[in-house]
Structure 1
Amino acid sequence: MLNELRPALVLAVLLAAITGLAYPLAMTGAAQALFPVQANGSLVEKNGTVIGSALVGQAFTGEGYFHPRPSATTGADPADPAKSVPQPYNASNSMGSNLGPTNPALVERVSADLDRLKAENPSAAVPVDLVTTSGSGLDPHITPAAALFQVPRVARARGLAPDAVKALVEARVEDRTLGVLGEPRVNVLALNLALDALPRR
């Protein structure tokens, strides 16, 4: 019987060593050697302190900052851990909204966002990504149109010339990956960091 078991046991140990140790170590080593920034989470630092990741959105709410698209992620309710509450950009619970297009809560939220954005910039159409959530709830990017829509508010709040803020946005537009994948986009965290670096009037 041992003769029949030995090949199976040897193969199980060998496969465990290859797939459980050798392969992960090789991939980790290759990633660290070839793509160290991406392999470590694309972390963004400011003055030596990690302030976020280029791959995960953050909730910027100040008038002097560009705002990301809404997030539908949730987290545990501090008052009752058995329940969940909205927790935008919760990276430990990536998810989209399960609300259908006729759901009253979704309609109310989108309508309120539309009214607020129309009051913020009455002369422009509201880009759809400023009122809709992404599938992950963690999208760090907005469309160039969504960034340009916010230029008047940001310029007013910071006392900057709108043309200077617009030029900053246009300089931060990322093209399609490899020229064909995805759409042009603007990383909100990178844009806000560049904005903070501008001298105020």
Structure 2
Amino acid sequence: MKKYIMQSLKLTLVMIVLCAAVYPLVIAGIAKFAPGGGKGETVTVNGKIVGYANIGQRFTADKYFRSRPSAVDYNAAGSAGSNKGPGNPDYLQTVHERIDTFLAHNPGVQKEQIPAELVTASGSGLDPDLSPAAARIQAKRIAATRKIDEQKIIRLIDQQTQEPLLGLFGPSKVNVLKLNAALDQLQ
């Protein structure tokens, strides 16, 4: 029995060293080669960090593109979806309120034209990206608010659109924080 206890203790010690020391150090080393050096990809404007590109942020002013709604109020410490199904009355009420708010801020847009991502939260509640269509539907409001030609806003969206990886994997997307930072640089 003593033999088995000693083997168990040795295996436990080896696993603690591997899982608590070696593995985290290897992952931290690999992260140094990622954008931002493992500290997250920051967006900088005029030498000042304005946010993190991988975390959705709230934009409510009409002069900015609005992000996808968040089920966790854009709190990265509490990343989660709403866990409410499409038949849940509370969820439906929330979506209808988001639709009404969007329509109030985007006159001329019909309810059927609103991309679902503008009124529903993502699974993490922190999605930093929109589809190009969700960005374009907001262009008229932003152009009017900023007194900029709408085609200039559309060109900016096209410039900020990231195509799928290798043209195959994932959808085209636009990072809202980067888009809004570029929008501020237009004027």
TM-score range, shorter chain: 0.7 to 0.9
Question: TM-score by structure 1 length?
Answer: 0.82
Counting matched residue pairs gives: 184
Q: Distance in 2 between matches of 1:121 and 1:70?
A: 19
TM value normalised by structure 2: 0.87
| C-alpha RMSD of matched pairs (Å) | 2.0
Residue 36 to residue 171, structure 1, CA distance change in 2 (3 Å): closer
Q: 1:140: which partner in 2? A: 128
For the residues of structure 2 that align with 1:165 and 1:36, how far apart are their CA atoms? Answer: 27
- Partner residue in 2 for 1:12: 12
Matches within 5 A, 1:1-201: 4-32=4-32, 34-37=33-36, 39-73=38-72, 88-119=73-104, 120-123=106-109, 125-199=113-187
Which segments of 5 or more consecutive residues in structure 2 lack a partner in the other structure? none
Comparing both structures, which one devotes a greater share of its residues to helix? 2
Identity of matched residues, %: 39
Q: Secondary structure at the match of 2:49?
A: strand
Q: Which residue type is aligned with residue 101 of structure 1?
A: P
Structure 1 residues 76-104: Cα deviation after superposition (integer angstroms, max 9, x where no partner): xxxxxxxxxxxx11111111113332333
Cα distance, 1:44 vs structure 2 = 2.3
Name structure 1 gaps, 5 residues minimum: 74-87
What amino acid sits opposite 2:96 in the alignment? Answer: S
Residues 60 and 5 (structure 1 numbering): CA distance in 2 closer, same or farther, change over 3 Å?
same
With over 3 angstroms needed to count, the CA separation of the structure-2 counterparts of 1:8 and 1:97, relative to structure 1, is: closer
Bigger relative contact order, structure 1 or 2 (CA pairs below 8 A, ≥6 apart)? 2
